[in-house]
Amino acid sequence: MKLLDNVYLVAGGPYSGFGLTPGGDCHVYLVDGGSELALVDCGLGTSYDAVIDNVRSHGLDPTRITQLFLTHYHADHAGGASVFRKRLELSVAISADAQPALESGDEGATSVAAARAAGIYPADYGIEPCEVAVALRDGHEQPVGRLSLRFLATPGHCAGHGSFLMTGGEKPVLFAGDSVFWSGQILLQAIPDCDLQAAIASVLKLEQLDFDAFLPGHGALTVSGGHQHVELAAKTIRGLGIPRNIV
């Protein structure tokens, strides 16, 4: 699904996405920087072939994908990181705070074990350790051809969560991950590293950014006027309320 001149949606399950891939994948975005391609999140890894087919359907060569940017270490976003890294020989970037859990395949820290026990993932699903090439810290700028992705530390949904502000294309784009969603919703879960106060601070931080396209990790998205969705969450917070939880 082509969203902008340089952004495509190439994965997303039928329950919280557009049914581009089966199962529980998050939205997976493909960024075209001209000289190279990059992915923002990669899903569970069980739909690798479908993701690659979706890339090819737009006339793009998957071998040009050189980088994988991860918003956080939950399996629906990063579970396939090792698969994509090995098969495409790409470099993986995630926050420095999330790096140890991803590199060790820690199913406790990443809440994979808890999600599996809750029936969110199949009983035989697991994640593999994945080498991280770039440990991101707040403000880090990473080029993708003519484009640039700036990492923004936005913890709250989980520890080490980050968002990416992309510039250099037709308009500024926010890849929000699971920090904030369409109509000003957030995603809090009963997991040890979910932090309401950190989530609130992250929403207020994102409100200060200049962006037009708003591309979250699940659900509805918008290619223009996207800032208003973060504004809705921030308005609720300034009124001493808690933004509505998406689940």
Please give the Cα distance from 47 to 53 (Å, whole number). 10
Question: 17, 16, 12: which is closest to 28 by C-alpha?
Answer: 12
In DSSP terms, 185 is beta-bridged to 181
- What is the 3-state composition of the chain as percent helix, strand, coil, each rounded to the nearest 5? 25, 25, 50
Per the structure block, which two tokens stand in for 47?
């739909």
pLDDT band, residue 93 (cuts 50/70/90): very high
Q: What is the tens place of the pLDDT at every residue in 179-231?
A: 999 999 999 999 999 999 999 999 999 999 999 999 999 999 999 999 999 99
Q: What is the tens place of the pLDDT at every residue in 123-169?
A: 999 999 999 999 999 999 999 999 999 999 999 999 999 999 999 99
Please give the Cα distance from 96 to 55 (Å, whole number). 29
Q: What value does the mean pLDDT of the chain take?
A: 97
Written as one letter, the residue type at 226 is G
Question: 196, 103, 184: which is closest to 157 by C-alpha?
Answer: 196
